[in-house]
């Protein structure tokens, strides 16, 4: 019985659902704040202390807005795609070690890295469906752009994710995280850099944010959404961003593990995880700020002609290093 | 590489801005200083007015209405029509119309957006 | 008359002989040639054959009562030769000249809309500036037009636009930009026919911001018109006021005191700086470079401050008036202005470096929306668009006004003709403008800043040109001896440039449309008036 | 009760805006865009400029309403989800300004859609526009929000 309670607590409160939601909103705030600072602005200020409640206010407001479903939409998909996409992103979190152990204890299995990456693709697919079912030309174009982009960039992402897996001799995320006495980002920096760039594309951020190119396709796949469905679409997007960053942390920055100075390791592990994750968020935000958006064909060319060959090269180099270091890591 | 490729200066600039003070002015708390000669809400001094109506005649937006005050025609400014060009002040032979530094004129009620000749003399405000 | 004009007139009378009815030269550098409607094409052909870089600047229509006068203002060798003719009001019609010069396309459509003159042989006969609900036989700029009961389109607002209809034919998909679209701050509609990612056809529909200013100017006094024409375009407002005032001053035959000429130059150049910076920032927004937009607009704020110090408002200057300027510049202001400009100049070198080196910026603008020099001349584009395609054209050099004849500056041209070149022209022009302002402030003559002028303008006509931030701005004013003008014609630079958008978008990528469009610096409130 | 005040708080703290120009001269428009830029930065108030009318709470209108734009303006207003507010920025949007009476002009924005706040000026300073939005939020705090849901 007590074990069940612990399970429920872990899934719903910490480090599961509630924690992920809260953390997502905080990250969204950090993102907006840091982007504002990089652009010499202040960013949200008056909503809570230093505007920290801004994402929460946005979310609550959207939840209670009038909900308009356009008459000629494919109703079922239009209604459920946002919430499905959101729940799948959150579900994927359950397989990440956040406070030193997976959210669902013992949920880790050999190959859950592949499983999580697949979940991300599925959730992305629902984002595509949400736009596709809107029957608005801008949504449709935005949706196809999402599809082309994540289908293309999934391949280098998978290949790059294999590099740490190879070094750790394991396809389980928690095992990869545990086995990094020395963060892989320092061991194989080129793979980390490539992973961040690919992640940038996967998360549809500048310079790869063609699905959100407002000046070309208005709101992209979100154009026709209002009220709570829009709230969940936006939230799904934010969860996706921190999920992507979390995967980067687990694979390259030794996950939640770091020095424990005193007291409970759970506290330190969570702290390390949050700090590392914020670091990745700042890096992606920095990249967003310093580049212009590429054109959709340039995005695809960048994938097939640059990132894919480079990711294969990086895998080869990683294997070479891995073999050389084998006694150390194994 | 024979030619040195130039790095985008934005890389450095954006990084530097993380620690720089934002350029934002905290408007509602700190009111901006309006420069001398700013074209804001009108101040009308009824004591100078000779009821000639030149201001109303020259107003490009026809925002000035001559209304009866104690039997004499005086200008009433419709702020919702006014384009703040101050041609009226230029046309006025007696300098009865002056500009104030008031620019926060927004109102939820359109009928508030007037400067009445009888009340405007002292301050720029009639509320 | 200059020697070039003499030469052209010789040539005209050689070729046409007796067919020329009258030659007028009311002012220096203004030539009017009157011909019969049938000879008009021949006369224009002579002009276009004589100089291959000649272009049509504007077509002005004037209602003379029984007939409609058409004036074709031809820009050649940096000056304007006007060929005028009359057509009867009943069944007004004349042959189109779009086959001689494609750039006349929109000019003719506009006259057709507003005056009801049919242009035989014109490729498109559709509406250009008037709304769809406008009655077919009502032409607003005719003096006898009674504009009383126009059906209000609101009643049948539920009727869907034609853009909702499926496109006929093959694989072409119709993509509609606007009227409400984030790439366009202003409402305007562009229907693109798209084959895959390639744009095959562009159909612009302007007129969403048409406010009928030319008509409104006729029933306001000259004094009121200054403020009215300023509000044709809030961005280049000082240029409109300057051009209108110059034209009226030309009719009145008064000259402006030197101090006023210098102060006009200062405000015109401030206008140019802020307009160019606005555009460069907006271009950043269009290509998804938000940081560039934010920085550029942040650095633009000091320029707005200077305008506010000088005129009392950040945007609409209301500074220039007939006979001079409305306020004087205080001595103690000069060092403040110069300090801000020095700061701005430093910032500009940063942006220049950025445009030269940022890879993503170059990927989005280099070789995008290329307008060749030939096309630029044929389509009669003006301003930075023309200079980005290697055409040497700048009214400040060709026909100096204000104090430009005394101030040294360089004309910036790039030969690439792509979006990048057009943006670079503007970037470099900001630097030139800063130099001009500094020079003007250093050499500011003393004396009065305005002369008093009568309210009534003697009968006469004149046209004036000003190099607005977007290019040559053209005004024609006709006076009938009262305080109200008989006709005010405004040809804005954006109206001349909008045709080139069709040219640069066709054959390009759909995703490039916003980026190449913004490089033309569109401004629809100017375009529609 | 607590829930209602939470909703009210959220709405006041997150007014997303849509900008529509129905025939302005661009002066007000550039001041509206300037609100987003570092010196004024309205993101401080949680204001975001949204591209689609479906996402917006506040419609910032500039300019007179021309005949060609009128039904488009109306349609955009109808596309916005409740509760929604309209701010008329500049003399033209308030009542027509210099263009009042022209043949292609219907007049101010309130001829077509209901307007909540008028911001006079030609163009108003960006601070004045912020002031208009703040006044809108204050008046919304007092009344409207309760009836509108």
For B8-17, C236-245, C516-525, which range has the lowest pLDDT when averaged over its residues?
A: B8-17
Domains of chain C: 3-120 (3.30.460.80), 213-504+512-528 (1.10.645.10)
With CA atoms as reference, the chain D residue closest to C300 would be D34
Domain housing B98: 36-115
Express each pLDDT in C306-330 by its tens digit: 888 888 888 888 888 888 888 888 8
Higher-confidence residue of D84 and A184: namely D84
Q: How far apart are CA B109 and CA A321, in angstroms?
A: 73
In this predicted structure, the answer to whether residue A259 has a pLDDT above a threshold of 80 is no
Do the beta carbons of residue A66 and residue A226 sit within 8 Å? Answer: yes
Q: With an 8 Å Cβ cutoff, is B23 touching chain D?
A: yes
In this predicted structure, the answer to whether residue B1 has a pLDDT above a threshold of 50 is no
Q: With an 8 Å Cβ cutoff, is B17 touching chain D?
A: no
Q: Indicate the CATH number of D14-141 among 3.30.43.10, 3.40.50.970, 3.40.50.12280, 3.10.20.740.
A: 3.40.50.12280
pLDDT of residue A267: 79
Q: What residues pair up with C68 in beta bridges, in sequence order?
A: C63, C87
Contact B38 C291 (CB under 8 A): no
Contact A215 C298 (CB under 8 A): no
Q: Nearest Cβ partner of D120 from B60, B82, B108?
A: B82
Do the beta carbons of residue C471 and residue C526 sit within 8 Å? Answer: no
Q: How far apart are CA B65 and CA B40, in angstroms?
A: 19
> Can you give the residue ranges of every domain in chain A?
72-329
Residue B8 lies in a domain: no
Q: What is the mean pLDDT of residues B37-51?
A: 84
Express each pLDDT in C275-299 by its tens digit: 999 888 888 888 888 888 888 888 8
Residue B109 lies in a domain: yes
DSSP A233-254: HHHHHHHHHHHHHHHHHHHHS-
Band of pLDDT at residue C183, cut at 50, 70 and 90: low
pLDDT of residue C390: 85
Residue B48 lies in a domain: yes
Mutation to test the C interface, candidates A41, A204, A215, most C Cβ within 10 Å: A215
pLDDT of residue D149: 40
Window 14-43 of B: residues touching A by CB (8 A cutoff) are: 14-15, 17-18, 20, 22-24
Express each pLDDT in C324-334 by its tens digit: 888 888 888 88
Q: How far apart are CA A99 and CA A77, in angstroms?
A: 36
Element housing B99 (H / E): strand B97-99
Min CA distance, D1 vs chain C (Å)? 39
In this predicted structure, the answer to whether residue A183 has a pLDDT above a threshold of 80 is no
Q: How far apart are CA A87 and CA A243, in angstroms?
A: 12
Residue B29 lies in a domain: no
Q: With an 8 Å Cβ cutoff, is B14 touching chain D?
A: no
Do the beta carbons of residue C133 and residue C146 sit within 8 Å? Answer: no
Band of pLDDT at residue C157, cut at 50, 70 and 90: very low
Q: What is the mean pLDDT of residues A205-217?
A: 72
For A218-222, C211-215, C468-472, C501-505, which range has the lowest pLDDT when averaged over its residues?
A: A218-222
Band of pLDDT at residue A160, cut at 50, 70 and 90: confident
Q: With an 8 Å Cβ cutoff, is C354 touching chain A?
A: no
Query: Of A22-36, A110-124, A192-206, C15-29, which one has max mean pLDDT?
Result: A22-36
Which two three-digit tokens encode residue B90? 């230029």
pLDDT of residue B6: 66
Q: What is the mean pLDDT of residues A226-242?
A: 84
Which residue ranges of chain D lie beneath pLDDT 70? 1-2, 143-149
Q: What is the mean pLDDT of residues B60-87?
A: 85
CA distances from C456 to B57, C213, C248, C249 (A): 15, 21, 11, 12
Contacts of A140 in chain C (CB under 8 A): none
Task: Give Cβ neighbours of residue C382 (< 8 Å, ≥ 6 apart).
Answer: C393, C470, C471, C472, C493, C496, C497
Q: What is the ipTM of this complex?
A: 0.84
Residue B110 lies in a domain: yes
Buried/exposed B50-73: b ≥16 CB within 10 Å, e otherwise: eebebbbebbbbbbbbbeebeeeb
In this predicted structure, the answer to whether residue C160 has a pLDDT above a threshold of 60 is no
Question: In the block, which residue shows the tokens 């650095």?
Answer: C299
Express each pLDDT in B2-12 by its tens digit: 344 567 777 77
Band of pLDDT at residue A71, cut at 50, 70 and 90: low
For A167-171, C325-329, C436-440, which range has the lowest pLDDT when averaged over its residues?
A: A167-171
Taking alpha carbons only, the member of C240, C245, C237 closest to residue C261 is: C245
Task: Give Cβ neighbours of residue B111 (< 8 Å, ≥ 6 apart).
Answer: none
Identify the CATH number of the domain in which residue B94 sits: 3.30.70.3270
Q: How far apart are CA A232 and CA C386, in angstroms?
A: 48
Q: How far apart are CA C232 and CA C252, in angstroms?
A: 24
pLDDT of residue D103: 81
pLDDT of residue C1: 63
pLDDT of residue A330: 41
Express each pLDDT in B94-121 by its tens digit: 888 888 888 888 888 887 777 877 776 5
Buried/exposed C7-35: b ≥16 CB within 10 Å, e otherwise: ebbeebeeeeeeebeeeeeeeeebbbbbb
Express each pLDDT in C48-90 by its tens digit: 887 777 888 888 888 888 888 888 888 888 788 888 888 888 8
pLDDT of residue C164: 38
> Can you give the residue ranges of every domain in chain D?
14-141
- pTM value? 0.86
Contact B60 C227 (CB under 8 A): yes
DSSP D107-145: ESGGGTS--SEEE-SSSPPHHHHHHHHHHHHHHHHHTTH
DSSP C65-112: SSEEEEEEEEEETTEEEEEEEEEESTT-EEE--TTT-GGGHHHHHHHH
Domain count, chain B: 1
Contacts of D136 in chain B (CB under 8 A): 106, 108
% of chain C beyond a pLDDT of 70? 91
Taking alpha carbons only, the member of C387, A46, D120, C103 closest to residue B61 is: D120
pLDDT of residue C174: 66
Contacts of D129 in chain B (CB under 8 A): 106
Phi-psi region of C65 (alpha: psi -120 to 50; beta: other; left: phi over 0): left
In this predicted structure, the answer to whether residue C180 has a pLDDT above a threshold of 70 is no
Residue A94: DSSP 8-state: T
Q: What is the mean pLDDT of chain A?
A: 79
Residue B43 lies in a domain: yes
Q: Nearest Cβ partner of B107 from D118, D129, D134?
A: D118
Crossing angle of helices C40-50/C3-16, nearest 10°?
130
């Amino acid at each position: 019985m007590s074990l069940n309670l612990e399970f429920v607590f872990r899934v719903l409160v910490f480090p599961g659902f509630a924690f992920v939601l809260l953390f997502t909103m905080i990250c969204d705030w950090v993102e907006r704040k840091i982007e504002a600072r990089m652009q010499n602005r202040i960013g949200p200020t008056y909503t809570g202390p230093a505007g920290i409640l801004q994402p929460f206010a946005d979310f609550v407001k959207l939840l209670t807005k009038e909900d308009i479903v356009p008459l000629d939409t494919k109703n079922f998909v239009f209604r459920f795609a946002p919430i499905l996409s959101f729940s799948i992103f959150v579900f994927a979190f359950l397989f990440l070690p956040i406070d030193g152990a997976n959210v669902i204890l013992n949920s880790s299995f050999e190959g859950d890295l592949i499983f999580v990456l697949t979940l991300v693709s599925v959730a992305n697919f629902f984002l595509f469906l949400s736009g596709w079912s809107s029957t608005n030309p801008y949504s449709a174009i935005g949706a196809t752009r999402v599809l082309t982009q994540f289908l293309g960039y999934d391949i280098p992402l998978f290949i790059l994710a294999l590099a740490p897996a190879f070094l750790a001799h394991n396809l389980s995320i928690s095992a990869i995280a545990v086995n990094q006495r020395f963060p892989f980002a320092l061991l194989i920096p080129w793979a980390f850099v490539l992973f961040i760039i690919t992640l940038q594309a996967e998360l549809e951020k500048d310079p790869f944010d063609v699905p959100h190119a407002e000046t070309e396709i208005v709101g992209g796949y979100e154009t026709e959404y209002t009220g709570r469905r829009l709230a969940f679409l936006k939230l799904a997007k934010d969860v996706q961003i921190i999920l992507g960053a979390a995967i980067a942390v687990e694979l390259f920055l030794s996950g939640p593990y770091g020095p424990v100075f005193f007291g409970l390791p759970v506290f330190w592990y969570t702290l390390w995880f949050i700090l590392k994750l914020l670091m990745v968020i700042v890096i992606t935000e920095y990249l967003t700020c310093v580049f212009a958006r590429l054109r959709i064909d340039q995005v695809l060319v960048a994938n097939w002609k640059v990132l894919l060959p480079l990711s294969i090269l990086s895998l080869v180099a990683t294997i070479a290093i891995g073999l050389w270091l084998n006694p150390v890591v194994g | 590489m024979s030619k040195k490729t130039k790095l985008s200066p934005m890389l450095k600039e954006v990084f530097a801005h993380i620690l720089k003070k934002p350029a934002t002015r905290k408007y509602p708390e700190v009111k901006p200083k309006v420069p001398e000669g700013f074209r804001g809400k009108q101040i009308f001094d009824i004591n100078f007015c000779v009821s000639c109506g030149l201001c109303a005649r020259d107003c490009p937006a026809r925002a000035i209405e001559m209304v009866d005050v104690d039997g004499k025609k005086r200008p009433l400014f419709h702020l919702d029509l006014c384009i703040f060009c101050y041609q009226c002040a230029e046309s006025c032979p007696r300098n009865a119309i002056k500009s104030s530094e008031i620019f926060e004129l927004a109102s939820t009620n359109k009928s508030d957006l007037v400067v009445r000749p009888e009340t405007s003399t002292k301050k720029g405000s009639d509320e | 008359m200059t020697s070039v004009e003499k030469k052209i007139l010789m040539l005209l009378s050689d070729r046409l002989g007796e067919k020329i009815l009258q030659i007028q030269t009311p002012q220096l550098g203004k030539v009017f040639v009157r011909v019969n409607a049938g000879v008009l094409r021949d006369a224009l052909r002579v002009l276009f054959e004589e100089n291959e870089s000649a272009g049509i600047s504007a077509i002005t229509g004037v209602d003379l009562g029984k007939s409609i006068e058409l004036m074709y203002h031809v820009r050649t060798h940096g000056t304007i030769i006007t060929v005028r003719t009359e057509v009867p009001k009943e069944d007004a019609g004349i042959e189109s000249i779009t086959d001689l010069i494609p750039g006349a396309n929109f000019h003719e459509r506009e006259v057709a809309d507003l005056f009801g003159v049919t242009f035989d042989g014109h490729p498109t006969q559709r509406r250009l500036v008037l709304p769809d609900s406008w009655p077919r036989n009502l032409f607003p700029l005719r003096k006898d037009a009674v504009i009383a009961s126009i059906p209000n389109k609101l009643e049948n607002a539920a009727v869907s636009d034609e853009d909702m209809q499926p496109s006929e034919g093959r694989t072409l998909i119709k993509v509609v930009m606007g009227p409400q679209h984030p790439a366009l701050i202003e409402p305007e509609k562009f229907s693109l026919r798209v084959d895959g990612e390639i744009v095959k056809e562009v159909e612009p529909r302007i007129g969403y911001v048409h406010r009928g200013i030319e008509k409104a100017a006729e029933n306001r006094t000259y004094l009121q018109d200054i403020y009215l024409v300023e509000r044709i375009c809030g961005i280049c407002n000082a240029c409109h006021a300057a051009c209108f005032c110059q034209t009226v001053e030309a009719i009145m035959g008064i000259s402006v005191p030197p101090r006023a000429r210098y102060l006009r130059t200062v405000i015109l150049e401030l206008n140019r700086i802020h307009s160019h910076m606005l555009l460069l920032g907006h271009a950043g927004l269009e290509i998804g470079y938000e940081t560039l937009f934010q920085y550029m607009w942040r650095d633009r704020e000091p320029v707005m401050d200077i305008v506010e110090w000088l005129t009392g408002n950040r945007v609409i200057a209301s500074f220039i008036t007939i006979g001079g300027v409305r306020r004087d510049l205080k001595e103690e202001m000069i060092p403040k202005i110069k300090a801000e400009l020095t700061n701005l100049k430093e910032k500009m070198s940063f942006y220049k470096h950025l445009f030269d080196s940022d890879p993503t910026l170059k990927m989005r603008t280099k070789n995008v929306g290329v307008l060749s020099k030939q096309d630029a001349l044929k389509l009669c584009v003006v301003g930075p668009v023309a200079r980005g395609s290697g055409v040497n054209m700048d009214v400040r050099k060709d026909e100096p006004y204000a104090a430009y004849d005394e101030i040294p500056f360089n004309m910036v041209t790039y030969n690439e003709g792509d979006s990048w070149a057009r943006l670079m022209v503007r970037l470099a022009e900001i630097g030139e403008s800063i130099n001009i302002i500094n020079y003007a402030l250093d050499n500011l003559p003393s004396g009065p800043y305005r002369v008093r002028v009568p309210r009534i303008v003697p009968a006469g006509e004149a046209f004036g040109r000003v190099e607005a931030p977007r290019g040559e701005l053209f005004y024609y004013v006709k006076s009938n001896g009262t305080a109200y003008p008989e006709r005010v014609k405004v040809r804005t630079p954006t109206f001349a440039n909008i045709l080139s958008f069709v040219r640069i978008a066709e054959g390009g990528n759909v995703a490039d449309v916003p980026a190449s469009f913004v490089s033309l610096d569109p401004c629809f409130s100017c375009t529609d008036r | 009760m607590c829930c209602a005040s939470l909703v009210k708080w959220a709405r006041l703290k997150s007014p997303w805006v849509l900008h529509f120009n129905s025939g302005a001269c661009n002066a007000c428009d550039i001041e509206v865009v300037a609100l987003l830029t570092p010196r004024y930065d309205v993101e401080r108030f949680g204001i975001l400029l949204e591209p689609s009318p479906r996402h917006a709470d506040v419609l910032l209108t500039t300019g007179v309403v021309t005949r060609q734009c009128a039904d488009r303006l109306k349609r955009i207003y109808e596309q916005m989800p409740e509760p929604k507010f309209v701010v008329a920025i500049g003399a033209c949007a308030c009542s027509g300004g210099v263009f009042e009476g022209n043949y292609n002009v219907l007049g101010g924005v309130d001829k077509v859609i209901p307007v909540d706040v008028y911001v006079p000026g030609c163009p108003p300073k960006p601070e004045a526009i912020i002031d208009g939005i703040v006044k809108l939020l204050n008046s919304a705090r007092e009344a409207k929000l309760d009836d509108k849901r």
